[in-house]
Amino acid sequence: MAWNQDPELQQLFRSELAERTGHLVTGARAMQSGDVTDELAGQMLREGHTIKGTGRVMGFEAISRAGQTLEQVWRRIQHGDIASSGDLGIALETLSSVLADAVEADPEEGTPALNEAHSALNKVLAEESEPDPEADGDDDAVERRAAGTPANLGGLLSALEDWATADSILVNAGTLYRLINEATTLRIHADSLAGSTPGPETERLSTTARSVQVGAIDLASVPLTEITNTLPQLVRYLAKKTDKEIRFELVGDDLAVDRQVLERVSDPIRQLLVNAIQHGVETMDIRENAGKPPTATIAVRASVKDNQLEVMVSDDGAGIDWEAVEYVGRSQGLLGTDNEATPESLRSLLFEPGFTTVQTPTELVGEGDGLADVVAAIESLNGSLHFESDELGTTVTLRVPTSRALQRALIVRTGGQHWGIPEAAVLDVLPMSQVEFLDGEGRSEIMWREHRIVVTSLGDLMGQAGGGDKVVIVLSSRSGPVAVGVPEVVESRDVAAKELGPLLQGPSHLTGAALLGSDRVVLLVDAARLAEQARGFPAGGSERARVLVVDDSQGAREVVAGVLATAGFATVKASDVPEALEILSDKIVDAVVVDYAMPGSDGISLIESVRMSFGRVPIVMLSGVATEEDQQRAVAAGADAYFDKADFREGVLAETLQSLVASRGTEEQT
């Protein structure tokens, strides 16, 4: 049973709703008698605001919507936007008086009486808002519009702007997010053009593209208060339920972020508050015995920096009971009975589905999936979760991009390939010279902020030759910090992610790709998966089959080679047939992936040359333009497999290469 279905909480909600609707009825009757004051209107809008929030927290959407309407109407009355009247007072009284009965109805739909009262109030509002056709115009306003300026064509342009600003229209969300993605791509290309061809026109184009991008993103942004305005009521309800005295602090919720991001982080924030109240802070008597103030403090602090939303949920409780975590982990077989429990192994247990130190589930404590759901939601946004816990309390920090269409990435280069690491997962960037290396058991470790953490070369993880690393990047993961080494950090920049086509998708630690301009492509890394792979990566790496990727497009080479690297292959790249033959002569290559259409000698001529000089090396041909006849030519020349670049079979390229390489190895052994 969900915590908000707890009978005791439901009864608390009913009692509070009856009390607040009673106040609203009194206020509506005061309007009917002409006794409305600014103070009364302010009190009424607060009652409506609270009903809106508590209704949403408890899952009664129909009640929440009615509370929102009451809040908005009383606010407009307080601000003088609409006038009090007897008809409006009657409509407000009717809606307020039927709210309490809706608790027994469908939470989403409410009662027929509630819906009728809601519609009646909206009808009165529409009638009250109709302009008087006989009323005199505002001479000053007419004069101001007539004066105009050359820039607004005597007021015509400003009139259009006023109309566009005042009205709202419904927009398909998919279309809007495609617009945002394309606007970001346009800005990237414009910035690249301005850099390569400087001048006033390209600079103006870059500035305009940036303005279009910002405006498009703003269209999808909503205030953080859409989710935070219900949190005080949630804390108050849960404090009553657990018999704890709690002071709640909410800081920094006057921000705007992407609606899709907001919807994804809403439940994690609520879950962390439930955990802080249920598991974190103590009851008043326990706190007093420990020398603490009897009232516990729980805080939610939000901030935005470099297009990253950071939300910190903290409490001043006793911290996580790591001994209990270890005991349950061993009793459930999640930890070896003889192995020493490390901090990272204990941390990882907290995010295991079904893990809980509570023996008997209650209305507030379920089956132990809460934190697992939290980290899954945050990682789906290419974000990170970091927490610290000691005897003074626990702080959990969530970091996610403020927009799903746009994210800030740290661009690094290793093995001639660009990679993008979401900055939401980056905890630190250090020169290798400032890093203290430690002796680890079968793996390299460094000391970072009093933490002993694993470090692995990104080149080794990506199937490229490691070595030459000059920079260490510390990443956040559910099990604690992990470090990767890279030869170079190129820059930090905004990128618009593009999903990989099905042919290239598969179980790897890539989330997509992004254009950098001038045919350059960066592959975007799933930092959470990368960190977990780094933690278990053997010292010195492992042997991988080497695949030669041949394509005249730099972007295509980067994407195909990068995807294959994360699928377990070592990769080398060539831009044309002569370069490919030179690589084949100098290096051992286990398979070749070649594009059909290339300037000069095409892919089929390369296949013929490979078969003549290098025997049965597996060859896969890719094409986006070849005909069925061309495909037959490729197979006749000796291609082992042929794929259209738009092939919809997920991950089939990597699977085919693995099968071909394994089959060749078996043939050579026999």
Q: Is residue 122 part of a domain?
A: yes
Quick one: 325 and 471 in the same domain? no
Closest Cα partner for 386 from 425, 429, 341? 425
What ranges in 276-403 are assigned the alpha helix state H? 284-289, 322-331, 343-350, 370-380
Count Cα neighbours of 98 within 13 Å in the Cβ-side half-sphere.
Answer: 20
Q: Is residue 528 part of a domain?
A: yes
pLDDT category, 161, cuts 50, 70, 90? Answer: very low
Q: Give me the numbers of helices (H) and strands (E) for the chain, helices first please.
A: 23, 23
Backbone angles phi, psi at 540, to 5 degrees: 85, 0
pLDDT for the residue 505? 63
pLDDT for 88 beyond 70: yes
Query: pLDDT for 98-141, tens place per residue?
Result: 998 988 888 888 899 998 998 888 888 877 655 444 444 444 44
CA distances from 46 to 20, 239, 356 (A): 10, 21, 39
The range of the structural domain enclosing residue 197 comes to 172-208
Quick one: 510 and 391 in the same domain? no
pLDDT for the residue 94? 94
A 10 A CB-CB count for 479 gives 21
Q: Is residue 422 part of a domain?
A: yes
Backbone angles phi, psi at 389, to 5 degrees: -145, 130
Highest mean pLDDT among 230-244, 442-456, 462-476, 560-574: 230-244
Provide the CA 457 distance to its chain's centre, in angstroms.
Answer: 26
Cα 409 to Cα 424: distance, rounded to the nearest angstrom = 8
CA distances from 88 to 83, 98, 158 (A): 9, 16, 34
In this predicted structure, which of 435-444, 452-461, 496-505 has the lowest mean pLDDT? 496-505
pLDDT for the residue 323? 87
pLDDT for 588 beyond 50: yes
Quick one: 187 and 307 in the same domain? no
The residues near 359 (Cβ < 8 Å, ≥ 6 apart) are: none
Quick one: 248 and 288 in the same domain? yes
Q: Are 577 and 600 in contact (CB under 8 A)?
A: yes
Q: Is residue 142 part of a domain?
A: no
Quick one: 410 and 533 in the same domain? yes
Q: Is residue 155 part of a domain?
A: no
Give the end of a domain, one of 381, 401, 421.
401
Quick one: 508 and 566 in the same domain? no
Considering only residues 601 and 434, tell me which one the structure prediction assigns the higher pLDDT.
434
Helical pair 322-331 and 343-350, crossing angle rounded to 10 deg: 80
DSSP string, 27-39: HHHHHHTT---HH
pLDDT for the residue 667? 60
Quick one: 522 and 630 in the same domain? no
Quick one: 305 and 263 in the same domain? yes
Token pair listed for 404? 């799903």
The residues near 365 (Cβ < 8 Å, ≥ 6 apart) are: 278, 356, 358
Quick one: 107 and 121 in the same domain? yes
Q: Which residue has the tokens 């290096």?
A: 587
Determine the Cα angle at 519 with ends 514 and 523, to 5°. 30
CB neighbour class for 317 (10 Å; exposed up to 12, middle 13-18, buried from 19)? buried
Considering only residues 307 and 93, tell me which one the structure prediction assigns the higher pLDDT.
93
Provide the CA 70 distance to its chain's centre, in angstroms.
Answer: 33
Going by the DSSP 8-state scheme, the letter that residue 279 receives in this structure is: I
We report the CATH number of the domain holding residue 592 as 3.40.50.2300
Cα 277 to Cα 588: distance, rounded to the nearest angstrom = 60
